[in-house]
Amino acid sequence: MLLYTIILFIGLLYFKIFRVRRQQEQLTLLQKSEGLISIVALLTLIIFGFMTLPWYEVLIALALSAVMASLIITTVQLGIFIDGKPLFKLSAVYRFMPILALLTIIGSVMSITPYYLG
């Protein structure tokens, strides 16, 4: 359950960043394909959660993860300023997108395969 909720949070954080980046920049084909593979992995993870966990645990994990991801990205967008300079910029957050996508894909596979391999 712990790995499931962590990967769910990372996946939702990735898609919140992806949505913000899509609104601000033109995405390349590689970035779009990365997003497509990540969304398939995340949807598979959510479906797997509904199949193996009680439905209320999945919904609570989804709701809390979505709220936390939204608050994190909103905080970065509004900015935390120290001496008039932003502490984090969105361009710095964009650099973590491939890592978050990789964590989402690998984490989804690691969460699901123990149940099907025996």
pLDDT digits (tens, 9 = 90+) for 50-95: 999 999 999 999 999 999 999 999 888 887 778 877 777 888 888 9
What is the phi-psi region of residue 84: left when phi exceeds 0, alpha when psi lies from -120 to 50, beta otherwise? left
Q: What is the pTM of this model?
A: 0.88
The tally of CA atoms less than 13 A away on the side-chain side of residue 19 is: 12
**Residue 13 corresponds to which amino acid?**
L
Q: How do residues 2-56 score in pLDDT, each as one tens digit?
A: 889 999 999 999 999 999 999 888 989 999 999 999 999 999 999 999 999 999 9
Q: How far is CA 44 from CA 6, 26, 89, 108, in A?
A: 15, 27, 31, 8
pLDDT attached to residue 118 = 62
E-strand stretches of 1-118: 81-82, 85-86
- Residues of the chain with pLDDT > 70, as a percent, come to 99
pLDDT attached to residue 85 = 79
